[in-house]
Amino acid sequence: MSIIKLKNIYTPYCLKNINIEIESGELIVILGSSGAGKSTLLNVISGLNEYSGNVYYNNKNMDKVPTEERNIGYLMQDVHLFPHMKVFDNVAFGLKVRKYSRNIIREKVEKMLYLLKIINIKNRYPKDLSGGEKQRVGLARALIAEPKILLLDEPLSSLDPRNSTEIRDELFKLHKHLNLTTIFVTHNFSQAKALADRIIIISDGKLIHYGSAVDIFDKPNKKIESFIKVSNL
């Protein structure tokens, strides 16, 4: 059964007639050049962007459901940790909103911090964190309310190669361990190849490919070949 279904999605100035169905537990990578509409697509799924068409989670129409009630994990491109909160409070934010008791918050947050190997920095402010640590904290914050869907907008783009590979592997493990449905935006082919169950390619707001990684890397058709050439991916 599809966990996310997008039907005839249009957004002002960007997406044009996007139709996608994503199965539960899949890891989908969205590829496309800058300005193609990759982030807009994530914003449509999360309800942050205006759109026409329909978005379904588990066959339930979400068009009228506001972002704050959709319970999705979303790690935005620049993470945007709240600068006035320590790591612990940043991660606890989603639980405090849901009015969990103090003890449960402490227990869940510490468990998540251990899982992401950042328990040692729980009392630091975001300004004192490295790029990799910020990504891990952002990921912990996105996952703390146990969402079933995780949206990642170029989470590795600002990291050095070593950190990037490390966090990529970590993400893959988390995706399996927490049984998430993950949508991962990137413009990096090697990341896509390493992670994806299926790949979406968007160009100028249009869906030009939705299929397995093999279709793209091993037997690309002319459309994909020309996209790769033009996008310089």
The only residue of 8, 50, 61, 98 in contact with other proteins, by rule CB under 8 A: 98
Rule CB under 8 A: say whether 72 interacts with other proteins.
yes
| Tokens read off for 7 | 């039907």
Task: For other proteins, give the closer residue by CB, 99 or 219.
Answer: 99
Specify whether the CB–CB gap between 189 and 233 falls below 8 A: yes
**Minimum CB–partner distance for residue 231 and other proteins (Å):** 26
Kindly tell me which of 97 and 230 has the beta carbon lying closer to other proteins. Answer: 97
Contact predicate 166/192, CB 8 Å:
no
Which region among 8-16, 56-64, 90-98, 172-180 touches other proteins (by CB under 8 A)?
A: 90-98
What sections of 116-198 are H helices per DSSP?
A: 131-143, 161-177, 189-195
Strand partners, 73: 150
69 binds other proteins (CB under 8 A): yes
Q: Is 71 in the site for other proteins (CB under 8 A)?
A: yes
CB atoms within 10 A of CB 162: 9
- Interface residue with other proteins among 7, 10, 24, 48 (CB under 8 A) is 48
Residues 6+ apart with CB under 8 A from 198: 26, 28, 29, 210, 211, 212, 213
Q: Which residues bind other proteins (CB under 8 A)?
A: 46, 48, 66-74, 76, 78, 80, 82-85, 93-94, 96-98, 125-127, 141-142, 145
